[in-house]
Amino acid sequence: MHFQKNTRSDFFKYLGILLIYSILATTGCQQQAPLPASVGNSFEKLTALQSCYLTYCQQRNSAPRALGDLEPLLKQTPFDITEILTSPHAGSEIVVLWNALPDMQSATPLVIGYETSCFEEQRMVMTSQGVIMMSEHDFQAAKFPPGHRPPNLDIATDSK
């Protein structure tokens, strides 16, 4: 009996080690190239803007109508209010979907803003559940508030 107990525990020990090695082998040990600082700065700016937007909605039970509505909340952030809607990505615009009151009970995130620029085919998007990176396909399929929709994309194709 004692022999079987040790064999069983050894079996699970080796199984665990095998599982760890297989996970490491499939995920690889490669590091991805670091993101440019502008991506991190953009994420921080969009997170501050998203937080102010949702705080406004919770405090007033209505959505902000313009940037001026968020000004008292934005003054509490480290960002310059006059530049809050300018992305660090080549100075592109941050679009905010004003008058969009998100349903905070919904499981599906609602787009409330986005960057007009992309980084490696990913767009930074403000949603009711946080700031996330989305592919253009996912962005076009995302849930937008009534009266808003994703912008039409003029994607140049190389026909040569």
Whether the Cβ atoms of residue 111 and residue 99 lie closer than 8 Å to each other: no
The answer to whether residue 106 is domain-embedded is yes
The answer to whether residue 152 is domain-embedded is no
Domain residues for 42?
37-141
Quickly list H helices, the chain. Answer: 2-27, 37-60, 67-74, 136-141
The answer to whether residue 82 is domain-embedded is yes
Whether the Cβ atoms of residue 96 and residue 113 lie closer than 8 Å to each other: yes
Query: CA-to-CA distance for 152 and 48, rounded, in angstroms?
Result: 27
What pLDDT, on a 0 to 100 scale, did the predictor assign at position 41? 79
The answer to whether residue 20 is domain-embedded is no
The answer to whether residue 159 is domain-embedded is no
List the pLDDT tens digit at each of the 160 positions of the chain: 444 444 444 444 444 444 444 444 444 444 444 444 445 578 999 999 999 999 999 999 999 999 999 999 999 999 999 999 998 866 789 999 999 999 888 899 999 999 998 888 899 999 999 999 999 999 999 999 998 988 875 443 333 3
Angle between helices 67-74 and 37-60 (to 10 degrees): 100
The answer to whether residue 132 is domain-embedded is yes
Query: What b-and-e string marks burial along 9-26, b requiring 16 or more CB atoms within 10 Å of the CB?
Result: eeeeeeeeeeeeeeeeee
- Give the CA-trace dihedral at 63, 69, 73, 77, to 10 degrees: 110
Number of folded domains that form the chain:
1
The answer to whether residue 92 is domain-embedded is yes
Q: Which two tokens stand for residue 99?
A: 């008058």
Query: CA-to-CA distance for 23 and 39, rounded, in angstroms?
Result: 29
The answer to whether residue 130 is domain-embedded is yes
